């Protein structure tokens, strides 16, 4: 038996059927692409609408926004705003009081100058808030003490003079050199901050033992820094020679 292959009619039929199937596949792929594109556009539109809804947007032609007369959110916001304004005012008053007392700290007695029995800004609240404010105030007092002590120590190390100030309307500055021969040797200046060149040297026992040539920087040049610098060198040289 010899196989002579398919007849021409069968081959033509098969080829035609194959072309039809290929055309159907191409049509399905085009339809799939259209549906995929439409789906992507729909998803993008949904995402856009969700974004607008989350931000409170709405369609005025279809929707209305009703504002409550007693809106809880507005009441809460106004209450917080008023509370913050009162807190800001209270802190400003506290800052004014502490600023006024700051100069007193330089005198070397921060405990006395920071007494706050009449410090009304801290008595405007109650409960836990008042306790928190009291703790803050105590920390602030301690910080002032530390900063003042550090500042006075830095002045002493940089200039060689320990400076204390009295608490008067026209304060006096007590100046003691680290090279002084005696513990009670000191200079005393009267300070008038509102007057130009408002430092005036007052008579002390220590002044009577200072070399007259050193006073020339005060009498002729009217320079307190030059006077103190020359005095420092003089005292330093005396101590060096003694050693």
Model pLDDT for residues 147-169, shown as the tens digit of each residue = 888 998 999 999 999 999 887 77
Contact (Cβ atoms closer than 8 angstroms) between residue 174 and residue 166: yes
Contact (Cβ atoms closer than 8 angstroms) between residue 191 and residue 198: yes
**Mean predicted lDDT score pLDDT of the chain:** 76
Assign 3-class secondary structure to 78-116. HHHHHHHHHHHHHHHHHHHHHHHHHHHHCCCCHHHHCCC
Predicted local distance difference test score (pLDDT) of residue 77: 65
Q: Using DSSP, how many helices (H) and how many strands (E) does the chain show? A: 6, 4
Q: At what angle do helices 127-159 and 72-105 cross, to 10 degrees?
A: 30
Predicted local distance difference test score (pLDDT) of residue 196: 73
Looking at per-residue pLDDT, the higher value among 51 and 123 belongs to 51
Predicted local distance difference test score (pLDDT) of residue 133: 75
132-143 tens-digit pLDDT = 777 888 888 888
Q: How confident is residue 38, by pLDDT bands cut at 50, 70 and 90?
A: confident
208-236 tens-digit pLDDT = 999 999 999 988 888 999 999 999 999 99
Percentage of the residues of the chain whose pLDDT score is greater than 70: 68
Given CA atoms 78, 79, 80, 84 in this order, what sign does their dihedral have? positive
The DSSP code for 168 is: S
Q: How confident is residue 54, by pLDDT bands cut at 50, 70 and 90?
A: low
Report whether pLDDT(237) > 60: yes
Contact (Cβ atoms closer than 8 angstroms) between residue 151 and residue 162: no
Report whether pLDDT(191) > 70: yes
The DSSP code for 173 is: E
């Amino acid at each position: 038996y010899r196989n002579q292959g398919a007849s021409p009619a069968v081959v033509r039929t098969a080829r035609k059927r194959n072309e039809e199937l290929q055309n159907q596949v191409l049509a399905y792929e085009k339809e799939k692409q259209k549906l995929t594109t439409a789906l992507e556009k729909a998803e993008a539109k949904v995402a856009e609408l969700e974004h607008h809804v989350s931000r409170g947007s709405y369609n005025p032609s279809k929707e209305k926004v009703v504002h409550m007369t007693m809106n809880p959110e507005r009441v809460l916001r106004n209450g917080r705003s008023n509370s913050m304004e009162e807190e800001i005012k209270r802190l400003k008053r506290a800052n004014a009081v502490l600023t006024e007392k700051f100069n007193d700290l330089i005198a070397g007695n921060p405990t006395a100058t920071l007494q706050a029995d009449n410090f009304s800004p801290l008595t405007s609240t109650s409960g836990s808030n008042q306790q928190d404010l009291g703790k803050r105030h105590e920390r602030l007092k301690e910080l002032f003490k530390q900063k003042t002590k550090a500042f006075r120590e830095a002045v002493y190390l940089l200039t060689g003079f320990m400076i204390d100030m009295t608490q008067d309307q026209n304060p006096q500055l007590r100046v003691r050199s680290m090279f002084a021969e005696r513990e009670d040797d000191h200079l005393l200046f009267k300070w008038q901050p509102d007057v130009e060149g408002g430092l005036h040297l007052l008579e002390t026992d220590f002044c009577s033992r200072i070399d007259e040539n050193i006073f020339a920087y005060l009498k002729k040049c009217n320079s307190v820094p030059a006077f103190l610098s020359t005095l420092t060198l003089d005292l330093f040289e005396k101590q060096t020679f003694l050693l």
